Structure 1
Amino acid sequence: MDVHQIIARRIRELRDAKAWSLEALAERSSVSRSNISLIERGESSPTAVVLDKLATALGVPLASLFEHPDNASATELSPHSSLRDQPVWRDPVSGYIRRNVSPPAWSPIQLVEVDFPRGKEVSYDTSARDADIHQQIWLIDGSMEITVGDRQWQLETGDCLTMKLDSPIRFRNTSRRRARYLVALCSLPLDSRSAR
């Protein structure tokens, strides 16, 4: 299945699960109804910023928009993910490439590999969601400047940064070469905080 069709079906599936109309999702995400409609029909190549707005409104991590829609029971989904089957997507604005590494079988952890072009940046107006979403970024190669809220870090090869997805985040490659990093995400229901 084409990555745009995966995104289309996942957004429609998540919206239907909340029993939201296109108008309701548009109001909550600040993405126009017509744009959401085009995305859900697989007729638009949304930017990373637009996808993050939709994911935030739907209360899920951005990575979940790249999961294969639930067309089989959890026991039938494979715990294995081969390279050729991992969805790859390119942000049409920054040119960054993300590959969902995680297998289709459910796991509380999602892995995403990102190839980020030199001199480019992406800013997300991330805010609180219906779940606590935590992520770690491990820089495999290159360097990245990452701003979370009002704090900024310069990551070099081998560095790792952890964060909670509840404030604006900016990824910026200030180096003269591409950067490659792994993102590990974990979602916890909000009610699990009292158990910690």
Structure 2
Amino acid sequence: MDINTRIARNVRELRDARGLSLDALAARSKVGRSTISLIERAESSPTAVVLDKLSAALGVTLASLFEDSAVGTAPPSPVARAADQAVWTDPVSSYVRRNLSPAQPSPIQLVEVHFPAGQHLAYDGATRATETYQQIWMIEGVMEVVVDQDTWRLEAGDCLAMRLDCPMAYRNPTEHSARYLVALATYPFTHNRRPE
């Protein structure tokens, strides 16, 4: 399935599960109604910033918008094969994220990120319905991460922990791409598909 089609289905299903109209989700997320409508019809390639606002308003992690939410008769597999992992590229910064976690419900999600040289991405710290924690473990390259007022320079092997409740920015200040692992955990854990 095309990644924009998967995002479209997940946003629409999560909005419906929470009983939100397009107008209500637009007000809650501060994303325009027409933009959400285009995303839900898979007629738009949304940016990371827009998807972060939508995921916060829907009470899920950003990684949840890339999951395969298809409901089948068999329980979700505890294995996520590399060939089946969702890969998405931000149309603005060109950073590439790969959802590593299996579809089986878990309070932990793993994401691999390739961040291009010289690129920058900033999130405004959208209000979240659940407590979400994140750790970034650098595999290769260098990243500068701003968490609220603190700036951290991360190099290979470094790990940074944070709560996703404030403005954040990511910048690769070098001429080489960076690669890192993101671990996300929500508390209290409720499977992201259930209404809140």
TM-score, reference length from structure 1? 0.93
- Does 2:166 correspond to 1:167? yes
- Does 2:13 correspond to 1:16? no
Alignment correspondent of 1:151: 150
Alignment correspondent of 2:61: 61
Number of residue pairs aligned between Structure 1 and Structure 2: 190
Q: In the alignment, residue 165 of structure 1 is paired with which amino acid?
A: L
Preserved contact between residue 53 and residue 126 of structure 2 (Cα < 8 Å): no
Alignment correspondent of 1:107: 106
CA distance in 1, matches of 2:142, 2:127: 28
CA distance in 1, matches of 2:125, 2:68: 23
CA distance in 1, matches of 2:101, 2:161: 19
CA distance in 2, matches of 1:28, 1:36: 12
Preserved contact between residue 130 and residue 189 of structure 1 (Cα < 8 Å): no
Offset, 1:130 = 1.3
Q: In the alignment, residue 96 of structure 1 is paired with which amino acid?
A: Y
The percentage of aligned residue pairs carrying the same residue is 58
Q: Which runs of 4+ in 1 moved over 3 A?
A: none
Q: In the alignment, residue 121 of structure 2 is paired with which amino acid?
A: V
SS of residue in 2 equivalent to 1:158: coil
Alignment correspondent of 1:193: none
- Does 2:165 correspond to 1:178? no
Q: In the alignment, residue 138 of structure 1 is paired with which amino acid?
A: W
CA distance in 1, matches of 2:150, 2:89: 27
Task: Provide, for residues 66-88 of structure 1, a one-character-per-residue CA deviation record: whole Å limited to 9, x for no partner.
Answer: 11115136x61111111110000
- Does 2:91 correspond to 1:92? yes
Alignment correspondent of 2:194: none
Q: In the alignment, residue 130 of structure 1 is paired with which amino acid?
A: A
SS of residue in 1 equivalent to 2:152: strand
CA distance in 2, matches of 1:88, 1:155: 24
Offset, 1:2 = 1.3
TM-score, reference length from structure 2? 0.93
SS of residue in 2 equivalent to 1:63: helix
Task: Provide, for residues 105-156 of structure 1, a one-character-per-residue CA deviation record: whole Å limited to 9, x for no partner.
Answer: 1111100000000000110112331111001000000000000111110001
